[in-house]
Structure 1
Amino acid sequence: MFRSMFAGLAGCGLVALATPASATFSIAACDARKTCGVAVATNNLAVGASVAYAQGGVGAVVTQFETNPHYGPKGLALLARGQDPQAVVTTLLAEDGGFEDQDQSWRQVAAVAADGRAFAFTGAEAAASAWAGHQAQTGYSVQGNGLAGPRVLEAMKAAFTQASGPLPDRLMAALEAGEAAGGQTTGRMSAALLVRTAEGGWSDVDLRVDASAAPVAELRRLLNLRQANERLAAAERAARRGKPDVARSEITAAIGLGGDWDRVWRRAARLRMTMGDRAEAVQALAAMHRLNPNWAKMERDDPLFAPVREDPALSRF
């Protein structure tokens, strides 16, 4: 990704470096609901900004090794016109344009259509980076370069096909399996999870870890927090509909997913108060105080918490 910068310095006589080694693994997929997405990890900065592309009801595109960011929007546009993924990839490569003075031999690209058709390509230069390859199957494609071996993609395939639940969970399971199987050989820096639904809105997922020593683990944490938020929203809906037992179950699940987030405890405390669960509301507000004392004090002084404000657990804030 940074090849042009190094080439420019070399042209000035400042450095003499070959193209920096790349190491990326990803999965692109669409499910039966025509929700489409990508999960990816790499040893470069901000992978989510340029490698992963998806559109609900249309498909998903991945462009990696030496990324050509024009492939993403163009590939989705071709898929939207009904082109077969193989034809899409062929067109992208043929019209590469020599982005950053590189040709198709530097590209690794995959396209998956919403109906499950998939195709991938690994150029000769990409194939020469440690271990590299791809496997396109019905509904998904896994690909990588600079990897610990073919076991990385095999682990991703197994995890994805065996996982249950919504597409974000299955993509995340595949990425974690690839990491556990050895992942990249040259280090780790960023990861991303992008999922687009046909209906759009809050159902879509766009999570990015731009720079971290453990990007896949951090991406999992972000997904857990997002799902905690979803469970709290479900709890609030259940409470409004007169289903307190369902609401309580959702609150418990949310805390299990996002107990290190002050906002989770705040919403749990407020919902517990509105449901008449005063003891649990106090416990939630006390937990929030451990994470964010100032905000918890503001909440304690809210009229909603007046009935429990003198509780010893709150009065000592």
Structure 2
Amino acid sequence: MAGNGVASIGECMLELSGQTGPNWRMGFAGDTFNTLWALHALSGDRPATYVSAFGDDPFSQDQIGFFAENGIGIGSSPVIAGARPGLYAITLTGAERSFTYWRGDAAARQLASDPAVLSKNLENQALIYFSGITLAILGDAPRAALLAAVAGARAAGSTVAFDPNYRPRLWRRREDAQAAIAEALAVTDIALPTFPDEQMLFGDANPQATAERLGQVVREVVVKNGEAPALIADNGTLHDVPAIHVAAPVDTTGAGDSFNGAYLAARLAAHAPVDAVLRAHRVAAAVVQVRGALAPFETLRRAFENE
């Protein structure tokens, strides 16, 4: 039987945010962690667990400490001697961002190295979230172990949410990404794709094509599309939900991840899909008005409740 917790699986990296001049601000972020950050902020007293693998270096210890300070645990995630976290730097042109990565030997690539430990981390969770980036950083055997663990948790009653989040540079071939994402969708209850990613990977003509394709295997689909409306496919019924225009965004980093976290928090709280998307749009609009991927909890909560 599923419990009350929420768990997200993936890689949290060191984030360097570009500022004016030579100074950089260091934080912690990554797509699945950004989503858990918002989900945790908006989910009341639900226990939150970030499932990954960590190094034993000072940066990894600071990362784990930062999680704990904000009420997020790591469960039984392994701490690997000699390993270290990945790193990325954000550079901005206006509010639009570009990324430079150093992550080839990141500890998180070993998150599924012990399938029994991974499965234990997914026990008694109301909701489990992962992404296409989670899949991309793993080799074939660890990826299969991850999907088996997710499938086992789902069979035990957990709801599984997945964002395909296609990043071409992380995959050897486009066909590999297509196959891995199809396998992930087969164990998914809520899919949260982004239309330009799906168009690039699968050649979808429009968001409706994405919703209809994914809706053949997933009962609930929300297709994000930037400032265009999000499209919900719920048991075969389609709904457009307009986004919120932000006239002067500061930084778009983490907006889609925060949308995901807010949507999932709303659904866990029994809000209908359309209301959940409205709340998620408000949260995403708030996130693009702050720097970095992680908005303060109070900022997220005010947007979620429309205060």
When Rg is computed on C-alpha atoms for both structures, the one with the higher figure is 1
Q: Please, what TM-score do these two structures have when normalized by structure 1? A: 0.31
Q: Please, what TM-score do these two structures have when normalized by structure 2? A: 0.32
